[in-house]
Structure 1
Amino acid sequence: MVRWEPGTPERLQRAALELFATRGFEETTAAEIAQSVGLTERTFFRHFADKREALFHGQELFAQAFLSGMEAAPPDASPIEVVAGALQSASTFFPDERRPHSRTRQSVIDRNPALQERELHKMAVLATTLADAFRARGVADPAASLAGQSVTAVFGIAFTQWIRDGEERSLADIADDVLAELRALTSASPTPAG
């Protein structure tokens, strides 16, 4: 038995991702994840409620990356400027060296409907958290809800592009481009009906 070492949750997360990627999520047990790093199943469950959480642990840090950007925005910043700040801050959570990990994680999620549902839930919770933060800045609804949803929509599109094979741009650069598309879309003159 391996003695306690710092970084146990991170070691378990790395092992889980590797096993999920090679063997499949459903085919991998919590006991196998723990054993692969010399720990017991009991130790696994001290850190994670279930094996799914090994993929989704750290939601608070993920959300805080967006919130930090919002908090850094000047009080008189427009909602779209705050959206930009949130996206730039969140991009620091995903440095380029994290791209291979993110690609692998997303491939595991893409192969499992229950994990896809959990990922959608994570993003819905994030949108609600961000909308609440916009409200706290004095942005009224529906603008606060639209702004929170905009952050998550732009992030989701940018993240999908960032993890594509062959992509080399930073997540921050991609998020800027996607946000520019949103700005162009919302400033376009309406097309006459009929």
Structure 2
Amino acid sequence: MPRWKPDARQRLIVAALELFAEKGYDDTTVAQIAERAGLTRSTFHRHFADKREMLAAGQQTLSRLLAEGITAAAPDATPMTAVAAGLERASMEMTSFNRELGPLMHAAVEANDELKQRDASKSTGMAAAMTHALSDRGVPRAVAQVAAELGVLAFKTGFARWVDPARDADPGELAPLTRAALDELRMAVTELR
């Protein structure tokens, strides 16, 4: 077996998600993940401390991208315009690999309560990063929290549409879908009066 292959990290993630969906998270071992990926356990541990870390691998990056987009928004941007900039920044970094992982991640999460809790934690982390970035712009805390939660919901809605296998074979980029979801949420908020 070759010691190194250029796409090892991605192969490990795909193998893990497939196994989590097939066997369940608890019944999947690191050795099984490495074997399914055609790699060794030591290669696994060069990329991840354990199988839990695999699931959080993209969370920090996604939260950072959302916050960077908010920070880079025009100084006079409204909170929702800043959130839109965050969504744009994060969405532009999503690749076809992220799109392919979507259904696998969904199947794995739905099959395990611990993974459902981790998924909820991921949303909390995204909202916290956006709230902090908005607060740094001088947005009042309550407004920042609401805007951030709407941003998380818009990202998740857009992403779900992007990875939906029932949609077109090539849905294009994620950014237009997250923008559309945010616009829908803005309209929905006006109905809350």
What's the TM-score bracket when you normalise by the shorter of the two chains?
0.7 to 0.9
Q: Distance in 1 between matches of 2:49 and 2:162?
A: 30
Q: For structure 2, which runs of at least 5 residues remain unmatched after alignment?
A: none
- Report Cα offsets for 1:86-112 as digits up to 9, x if no partner: 112221232456322211121111111
Q: Distance in 2 between matches of 1:85 and 1:176?
A: 9
Residues 27-176 of structure 1 aligned to structure 2 (within 5 Å): 27-96=27-96, 98-168=98-168, 169=171, 170-176=173-179
Q: Say if 2:180 is the partner of 1:177.
A: yes
Q: Distance in 1 between matches of 2:46 and 2:3?
A: 15
Q: Does the Cα contact within 8 Å between 1:34 and 1:41 map onto a contact in 2?
A: yes
- Report Cα offsets for 1:89-142 as digits up to 9, x if no partner: 221232456322211121111111110100110110111111011111111121
Q: Which moved more, 1:44-53 or 1:24-33?
A: 44-53
- The TM-score, its normalising length taken from structure 2, stands at 0.84
Say if 1:111 and 1:189 are closer, same or farther in 2 by CA, change over 3 A: closer
Count of residues in Structure 1 that have an aligned counterpart in Structure 2? 190
Structure 2 residue aligned with 1:13: 13
What letter matches 1:108 in structure 2? A
Structure 1 residue aligned with 2:190: 187
Could you tell me the percent identity over the aligned residues?
36
Q: Distance in 1 between matches of 2:89 and 2:145?
A: 20
Q: Does the Cα contact within 8 Å between 1:68 and 1:89 map onto a contact in 2?
A: yes
Q: Distance in 1 between matches of 2:25 and 2:162?
A: 23
Detail structure 1 runs of 4+ shifted over 6 Å in the superposition.
Answer: none
Say if 1:140 and 1:37 are closer, same or farther in 2 by CA, change over 3 A: same
- Report Cα offsets for 1:164-188 as digits up to 9, x if no partner: 2322344322222221122212334
Whichever of the two has the greater Rg, that structure is: 1
Instruction: Give the RMSD, CA atoms, in angstroms.
Output: 2.3
Higher relative contact order (CA 8 A, sep 6+): 2
Q: Distance in 2 between matches of 1:164 and 1:40?
A: 32
